Amino acid sequence: MLGLSTALLRDPFHLVLVALCVVGIFLATIFVLAFKPKGKSSGEQNTFQAYLKFFYACFVKPHTGDGTGNQQDALESFYKAQADVYDATRKRLLKGREDMLGVVAAQLKHRADAGLISQRPVWVDIGGGTGHSVEQMGEFLPVQDFFRAVYIVDLSPSLCEMAKERFQRLGWTNVKVICQDARAFRLHEHEHEAHERKERILQGQPVRDLDENADAGGAELVTMSYALSMIPEFYPVIDSIASLLSPNGVVGVCDFYVQNQVDYQTRNYTGGVIDRHCVWVSRVFWRTWFEIDRVNLEAARRDYLEYRFGTVLSINARNTFFGVKLPYYIWIGCSKDNGASTAKLAEIDAAATESPYLSALDLQTGPTPADVEIRSKAYESAIVNLQSSLPLPATWYQNHHWRIHYDETLEKHKRFNNCYIYAFTWEDDRADARLLKVQADDVILAITSAGDNILSFALDNPRRIHAVDLNPSQNHLLELKVAAFTALGYSDVWKLFGEGRHTDFRSILINKLSPHMSSLAFQYWLQNGPSAFEKQGLYYSGGSGNAIQLVGWLFCVLGLSKEVKKLCAAQTLAEQREIWRRSIKNVLHSRILTWTIIGNEKWLWKALGVPPAQRNMIEADYLRNDEPGASASGPSSSSSRGGHAVYEYVLNTFEPVVNSTLLSTSNHYYLLTLLGHYTPTSHPTYLSPKSHIKLSKPSAFNGLRIHTDEISEVIARMRPGTLTIVVVMDSMDWFPPEGKQAIKQIRALNRALKMKGRVMLRSAGLRPWYVETFEACGFEAKRVAVRVPGSCIDRVNMYASTWICTKETSIEQEDVKLHFRKSSMVELKI
């Protein structure tokens, strides 16, 4: 017997059979164990049997429908044996369905509130199967009351029977199950009122198809949940969605996919490519694996969907399944022509460039020849797409046009490693308000940073605010804040940005914030938001969060955590000074700490966002003040000299703050760094209940435009002489003195500002080197605040000086005069 077994195992055919049996048993065991409920319950045996039936139908049972060539027979061969366990076995496999439903529900509610949907909507769920998605929609919308009619269209009779039983049990009379090929489904055959309405509109002309003219009807929502990948002839099905959809309708698709970045890397209309690329092994394995069950993952399905419609939101995700990551996507779209009108393009473009095309709305000026060629990058990309019959970039299909389209694939955006440096803004908004006195007709351009000061400017309701930042993640943070004020009550806004934590962040992002965000920002926060808000806390995230974590860790190690809490709770300056003096001061003013950590260039940049050029300015001022006659370029390069300079700078920063401002009521900047959150008595201006009333008004952010680019690139595409205020924070400190970036930007600012327009800047230097450049380029530079030892320049006290540079002469006029003088000199010589 042993010899016979040995002989059999030598046969390669038998070896293959044995191997297949072992693999089959192994997969079956893993499958059962993976889905086995924890602990014993009455439903444990049923769950076990459900997955056994699923395994049999998917991997063992022969597909008997192959011979007929009929898609319905093929589907029945696959689904009939498992129809009754379909829902129970797909919960973990088919991820993203609930998220897709939540997003489209939020879109529909927003459109209804905005008056874009004037009647109870119609929903068509293509490939709806057992009706699971329709029942799940009840978690987000009251299906019976919200929808006039819901159509579940599926080709499998077995699944359709399950759907009919479901809705008979639920008593939902507005849900209709249609067992039909999706290519042949026509809404007018079921929506008789819409058909009659179209007849009236066409005034007796023959009605060929209601769905060819959505003005007379059409569905406000069309969804496909893990159905597109199972339809062999998918092109006509996608085409039919276009005819089904009403003008302001929404399409929602969730499905498996695999794709190579080579396919999409030159497209600007996909709504973002975050995590879209799948590695070669993943592409080959999943395509081959799913083909066993007639599921096709070729890229053409998703590509044609994106080509045929405009992308509103796009999400690429992974479902961890059997220890491997299974790629799936959620895509929300709309009509390709929605927002593509020439008038709308010109209006949005004018808001970004301050061109006269908005004269009828708010500019009250006429066009000039110089304005004709001024176009934003977003407008140029839109025109190129329209000329090529492509959809517009996703930002054009947003419900709000706050965010200006940018190319996320450029290296200048990638260098920030998909992370924001600042989770909060280190600029005193109260000082800004006092110095700038913003008026209703002001056009402001400011660096975004964490967006706090942008929101403070919005409280003054200027005509326009241009928020500019090269780091996309900083603009994502501002978008999140703007969306929160637009969609949330004060309690939720406070939890998000006051406490920096919200245990239900993912849910409110999907269900409430998603209609008010760009595709890239939504994808970013879907990935990073739960970690930031539900686990570590917003203000412990980002580069600045590293500093807060280090400070908290240091106090904990030294046993000063209780003292820190007492300092932040002190009710008088005398109490605060006493706590500071007896304990915390010695730690923060330790030379060892300053030289090893705060004086370290890498730590300064990664944690505090202090670039080397700014550190050099601190060292240069230190040398000038303490060692007259010493060269600013010589000794300052040594680490010892740098450590002394930073030590003195830190000493002059913290001491006056503690002595003159009360953290518990009037200095939220340092309160945040010590506690990791704000308090109801100490927080930024934009987080007060009064501010929420103003910022939650529908028109609060009509004038906001968010640019992801360099300041010089943004103002180069603006109409000359339109800005009135520019706030560059300390960004000028980042430019190296030997480079040409500073003079290029200052000349561009002169061109963009109107006469008497102002540039406000802060600097780590007492008199930064670039002030002379401002003066040489037509500005009058005035130092409006300076930090001296023992006093505060403002509540932050982090910068050595504050400057306002006022445009007195136009650099273009000076260039013309210079050219005229040179020409005159040439003529005289001749």
Q: Calculate mean pLDDT across residues 313-341.
A: 87
Antiparallel, parallel or unpaired: β 324-334 and 310-321: antiparallel
Q: Calculate mean pLDDT across residues 699-723.
A: 93
Position 18 scores a pLDDT of: 65
Q: How would DSSP label each residue in 639-687?
A: HHHHHHHHHHHHHHHHHHHHHHS-HHHH-HHHHHHHHSS-BTTB--GGG
Which H/E stretch holds residue 241?
Answer: helix 234-244
Alpha-carbon distances of 210 from 57, 177, 192, rounded to whole Å: 40, 20, 10
Antiparallel, parallel or unpaired: β 753-763 and 723-729: parallel
**Structure pTM?**
0.84
Position 825 scores a pLDDT of: 43
Give 599-658 pLDDT, tens digit per residue. 555 555 444 556 677 778 887 887 776 544 444 434 344 445 555 777 777 778 888 999
Q: Calculate mean pLDDT across residues 159-163.
A: 88
**If we measure between CA atoms, which residue out of 736, 746, 740 comes closest to residue 716?**
746
Q: Calculate mean pLDDT across residues 267-296.
A: 89
Position 559 scores a pLDDT of: 86
d(CA 527, CA 318): 11
pLDDT tier for residue 135 given thresholds of 50, 70 and 90 = very high
Position 66 scores a pLDDT of: 53
Give 180-229 pLDDT, tens digit per residue. 988 889 888 887 766 666 666 566 565 555 454 444 458 999 999 999 99
- Which class in CATH covers the domain with range 415-505+689-813? alpha beta
Residue 38 pLDDT greater than 50, yes or no: no
Residue 775 pLDDT greater than 90, yes or no: yes
Give 469-488 pLDDT, tens digit per residue. 999 999 999 999 999 999 99
Position 379 scores a pLDDT of: 86
Which residue in this structure is represented by tokens 């005159």?
A: 824
Residue 465 pLDDT greater than 90, yes or no: yes
**If we measure between CA atoms, which residue out of 521, 526, 479, 481 comes closest to residue 706?**
479
Where are the domains positioned within the chain? 18-89, 92-334, 342-388, 415-505+689-813, 542-675
d(CA 616, CA 1): 86
SS3 of 39-53 = CCCCCHHHHHHHHHH
Residue type, 512: K
Which one-letter DSSP state was computed for residue 259? -
92-334: in CATH 3.30.413.10: no
**Non-local CB neighbours of 30 within 8 Å, separated by 6+ positions:** 322
Helix axes 157-170, 71-79, angle to 10 degrees: 60
pLDDT tier for residue 243 given thresholds of 50, 70 and 90 = confident
Alpha-carbon distances of 521 from 414, 431, 455, 487, 524, rounded to whole Å: 15, 30, 18, 16, 5
Which one-letter DSSP state was computed for residue 295? -
Residue 146 pLDDT greater than 70, yes or no: yes
Q: Calculate mean pLDDT across residues 295-301.
A: 91
**Is it true that 92-334 and 415-505+689-813 share their CATH fold?**
yes
Position 387 scores a pLDDT of: 87
Average pLDDT, the chain: 82
Which of 106-120, 196-210, 527-541, 794-808 is predicted least confidently?
A: 196-210
Which one-letter DSSP state was computed for residue 756? E
Which of 2-16, 142-156, 712-726 is predicted least confidently?
A: 2-16
CB neighbour class for 5 (10 Å; exposed up to 12, middle 13-18, buried from 19): exposed
Position 609 scores a pLDDT of: 52
Position 819 scores a pLDDT of: 42
Position 595 scores a pLDDT of: 55
3-state helix, strand and coil shares in percent for the chain, rounded to the nearest 5? 55, 15, 30
Residue 291 pLDDT greater than 90, yes or no: no
Nearest 5°: phi and psi at 724?
-115, -30
pLDDT tier for residue 130 given thresholds of 50, 70 and 90 = confident
Question: For a pLDDT cut of 90, what percent of the chain falls above it?
Answer: 52
298: which 2 tokens? 């070729």
What distance lies between CA 568 and its chain's CA centroid? 33
Position 113 scores a pLDDT of: 92
Position 357 scores a pLDDT of: 55
d(CA 225, CA 97): 6
Q: Calculate mean pLDDT across residues 335-344.
A: 76
Give 369-403 pLDDT, tens digit per residue. 444 467 888 888 888 888 889 999 999 999 999 99
Antiparallel, parallel or unpaired: β 219-225 and 122-126: parallel
